[in-house]
Amino acid sequence: MMERMRNTIKNHNDFKTDRSHPYASTDLFAIRTKSAKFADDPRYGLVVTKRNFRFAVHRNRVKRMLRDWVAFAENYMCDDMDYVFYAYPEILGDGVNREIGRKKMVAALREIKYRHDKKQSK
């Protein structure tokens, strides 16, 4: 049986992040973090803008892809942080598939975890 995925961020103000927390970026997406609003319930949010993805069908596809990648790499997420994922238009490019996206997600989340652990040890 698969574990339940994290809750999602629903409030507009909860999407706001700053550069004082660890972040990572790839050619397909960027990840920004912030301290979890609720210590026992870390969350994630997806930002897929109409400016970058004109058609709703594209926005919905990108959200499905990101949710899949997040679910796959959830073990690499810190429990005391909320995550906000920003999609870039290149995510719909040729050659982008589930395997590539999952690898990039794991790499980006590992980088964030490393930066977070490094900051905590200071």
CATH number at residue 49: 3.30.230.10
* pLDDT at residue 2, as a whole number: 47
* pLDDT at residue 5, as a whole number: 64
Residue-range definition of the domain harbouring residue 68: 7-121
In a domain, 2, yes or no: no
Using a CB cutoff of 8 Å and minimum separation of 24, what contacts does 73-79 make? Answer: 73/102, 73/105, 73/106, 73/109, 74/3, 74/5, 74/6, 76/106, 76/109, 76/110, 76/113, 77/6, 77/42, 77/44, 77/109, 77/113, 78/33, 78/42, 78/112, 78/113, 78/116, 79/36, 79/42
* pLDDT at residue 4, as a whole number: 55
* pLDDT at residue 18, as a whole number: 73
Backbone φ and ψ of 11, nearest 5° = -85, 130
In a domain, 66, yes or no: yes
pTM attached to this predicted model: 0.87
**Sheet order of strands, 29-35 included:** 7-8, 43-47, 81-87, 29-35, 23-25
In a domain, 1, yes or no: no
Task: Provide the residue-wise pLDDT of the chain in tens; the chain has 122 residues.
Answer: 345 567 887 777 777 777 778 889 999 999 988 887 777 777 899 999 999 999 999 999 999 999 999 999 988 988 888 899 999 999 999 999 999 999 999 999 999 999 888 877 76
In a domain, 57, yes or no: yes
How many structural domains comprise the chain? 1
* pLDDT at residue 79, as a whole number: 84
In a domain, 65, yes or no: yes
